[in-house]
Amino acid sequence: MTRPLQTELDPEAAAVIEEIEAEGVPEWSALSVASARRVEDEVFSAEDPPDVDFVRDLAIPGPGSETAPESESGPESEIPIRVYRHGFNPANADPPNDDSARPVLVYYHGGGWVLGTLDSIDGACRRLARRGKCVVVSVDYRLAPEHPFPAAVEDAVAALRWTADNAAVFGGDPDRLAVGGTSAGGNLAAVTALRARDEGTVPAPERQFLFYPVTDHAFDTDSYRENGDGPLLTKADMAWFWDHYLRSAVDGANPYASVLRARDLSGVAPATVLTCGHDPLRDEGIAYAERLESAGVAVRHDHHPDQPHGFLSTSDSVAAADDALDEIGAELREL
């Protein structure tokens, strides 16, 4: 790490934070789960997302679906997904001749494993589909506390398996799969890549995109001390999220919850790790990038010392976030 870990907050990012705070959003940890979910949907769902030629909501079989009881709405283990592709509509019988199968990104939203929906990450997925010229499969995995660890992990892995088997239907290339996500979704992407290395039944992604990921069930880093009061994410919030996600503190030592605690990271997919200076998760993201590098994994670590947690969602207002999305798009196109 040659750049400073933290510098003065970007004025454009500060203006966005001021707007969000003006909405009167309390810390997540001060709310009930139900209230936090309502607030998250109201404040963070995209109001005017960019156009994408093809968007389709589906439900795919989840883990154990063959034995799941039927309900009026179908199998209880179904996983809602939303598929995006820009450039041509796969339902069109006559796509452009120069259009070939595209890379596929299986994407997991953030929200501390407790919050988040397909709508709350819709704008980011549309931008990734456009800039990456790829198929994006957004996964609405089961949330805690109703479905604690490892339910979200099992859904994340099941979605990757399904996408590998069905990518061609949407014009995607099953041999160019990637996983990615923000915050807790970055955690699920990293865990899925680790599971793919460990288990022969999980398709191996070509790359993992980890945007300010959660990597460790611990709160003892300098970034927690410096940024524990926010902005946008606090130490109390993360303790609240972990408490809802884990069945007990013992789960926090499991490498499929805390990927930083995996004994060996060699052989996992190459990674792009994005970290932010004004983020409680900064140091554990940096530590994971360093662990990957020391294990011989190719890593592009993109650190933004003047940005807060969640900054990719501010690309409409913050130039640095827009530039970062361009770089991510270029990597997706090159898969």
Q: What is the pLDDT of residue 292?
A: 98
Work out the average pLDDT over 47-56: 90
Any domain includes 292: yes
d(Cα 157, Cα 169) in Å, to the nearest integer? 19
Range of the domain at 216: 11-63+76-333
pTM for the whole structure: 0.94
Q: Cβ(219)–Cβ(283) under 8 Å?
A: no
pLDDT digits (tens, 9 = 90+) for 275-297: 999 999 999 999 999 999 999 99
User: Bridge partners of 216?
Assistant: none
> Token pair 């069945």 is at which residue?
247
Q: What is the pLDDT of residue 49?
A: 86
Q: Is the pLDDT of residue 112 over 70?
A: yes
d(Cα 307, Cα 269) in Å, to the nearest integer? 26
Number of domains in the chain: 1
Q: For residue 225, which phi and psi values (nearest 5 degrees)?
A: -70, -40
250 CB neighbour count, 10 Å cutoff: 9
Any domain includes 15: yes
Q: What is the pLDDT of residue 67?
A: 41
Average pLDDT, the chain: 92
> What whole-number percentage of the chain has pLDDT above 90?
85
> Token pair 């309900």 is at which residue?
71
Any domain includes 1: no
Q: Is the pLDDT of residue 84 over 80?
A: yes
pLDDT digits (tens, 9 = 90+) for 304-320: 999 999 999 999 999 99
Active site residues: 183, 279, 309
Any domain includes 71: no
Q: Cβ(215)–Cβ(190) under 8 Å?
A: yes
Any domain includes 181: yes
Q: What is the pLDDT of residue 76?
A: 54
Any domain includes 3: no
How big is the CA angle at 126 (ends 107 and 139), to the nearest 5 degrees?
25
Any domain includes 2: no
Q: What CATH number is attached to the domain comprising 178?
A: 3.40.50.1820
Residue 52 tokens read as 């994408």
